[in-house]
Amino acid sequence: MHYFNINSYRSLLLLNNQVQPVLKINLKKEDGKVLYEKGLDHDSNGKPMTAKSKNSIASDAKPFTAFAILQLVDEEEIKLDEPVVNYLPKLTLEDVRLKRVTVRQMLSHTFGSPTLLS
């Protein structure tokens, strides 16, 4: 059996100047017994993350949103490399260049704009 060492992965990301992962892990059995709890790094207020730290709904909703979008990709309702505005025509963009931002770029946070919505 192979084990994933989250601390080694986190260190590797930091050494390569990539994202600084902030996360919490809670593993429980069906009966509610805690198997493992761990928090890494600090929250936006500088407090240490714990397994019981609270996140804003925006952070917690990202994986669910991505999963739902990828289901639509599987059903061929959405194409990852099409502009987001093709699917959200009322989306208002501050910069006309951002009309080229694709679904893939939006999901992977690689579209390059800190301010998207006006």
Q: How far apart are CA 19 and CA 94, in angstroms?
A: 26
pLDDT tens-digit profile of 74-104? Answer: 999 999 999 998 998 887 767 777 788 899 9
Mean pLDDT of 4-10: 56
Strands (E), 19-58: 23-28, 34-40
SS3 35: strand
Residue 101's nearest CA partner among 80, 81, 83 is 83
Distances (CA, A) of 45 to 5, 13, 38: 26, 22, 18
pLDDT tens-digit profile of 32-53? Answer: 888 888 777 777 777 887 777 7
Share of the chain above pLDDT 90, in %: 18
Which of residues 118 and 48 earns the better pLDDT score?
A: 48
What is the number of other CB atoms lying within 10 angstroms of the CB of residue 4? 6
SS3 75: coil
Q: How far apart are CA 24 and CA 19, in angstroms?
A: 16
Mean pLDDT of 105-118: 67
